[in-house]
Each structure stands twice: as C-alpha cells, then as structure tokens.
Amino acid sequence: MRDAKISMHIRFSQTQLNILDNLIETKSGINSYSEAVRYAVMSLEIPEDTAGMQRKINAMSKELSIAVEMLAGGFHESNVKDIGQKEECPIYRTAKKYVEENIQRATTYKSTHAPKKFK
C-alpha cells in the first residue's frame, strides 16, 4: 500500500456540506471533512442487481456474434448489398441458428463440467 498523501480539491454544495457536518457531529471518531468523506465513501453499498446487467450483456454479445457470423460467412459469398428485414434474410437466420447452437453448447458444457459443491 502506498504511504503517500494525495492532495485534491473538491467543491461541495451547501447540501453536501450539511451532510458532512451531520456526519462529523453524529459519528464518533470523525473530526474533519476528509474523514467524513472517507466514511461516506467506505459505507456505500454496491448494488446487488447484477443479473439484469448480465442479461443485457449476454443479449448484446449474442447480437454481436450474429453480426460477425453474417459478415464472415454469408455476405461476401452471396454478394449481398442490403438485407432489408433481418428476420427475412436467410443469411441472418443461418447465422442466428449457428450462434444459438454455440451458446447452447457452451451452456451445456458449463453445467456438466462445473465443479461439484458438497454440502
């Protein structure tokens, strides 16, 4: 751990100063604004809702994989310039099927090769 002090200048609004003053008055051991800011930062809770974010990331990853598969496999060979509605394009359907099979295969592999948890 570094033993150097970092000097920073932070501007607080009156509301923020009131909150810091309240921390200094109510919490024992907090005697300055820097200690109040440190206490406030360290007592923040990280939100536990990472499942929703993970679903969004997975969906974006899937769409990106489909786009890459379409570019790598179908467009160049078929001389396609415009696909119109993506659901109607056979290249899109083929790429989507391929990506979904890869995702299913990876999911199955993870579930069958996951470390066993003993109770």
DSSP structural state of residue 46:
P
Which band of pLDDT confidence, cut at 50, 70 and 90, is reported for residue 61?
A: confident
Whether the CB-CB separation of 73 and 94 falls below 8 Å is answered with yes
**For residues 80-93, average pLDDT:** 67
pTM as predicted: 0.40
In the chain, where are the structural domains located?
Answer: 12-44, 51-112
Q: CA-CA distance, 86 to 77, in Å (whole number)?
A: 17
pLDDT over 50 (residue 45): yes
25-27-29-31 Cα dihedral, nearest 10 degrees: -30
- Tell me the per-residue pLDDT of 100-112, one tens digit each, with 9 for 90 and over: 888 888 778 777 7
Buried b (16+ CB within 10 A) or exposed e, 9-34: eeeeeeeeeeebeebeeeeeebeebe
User: What pLDDT does 101 receive?
Assistant: 85
Whether the CB-CB separation of 27 and 19 falls below 8 Å is answered with no
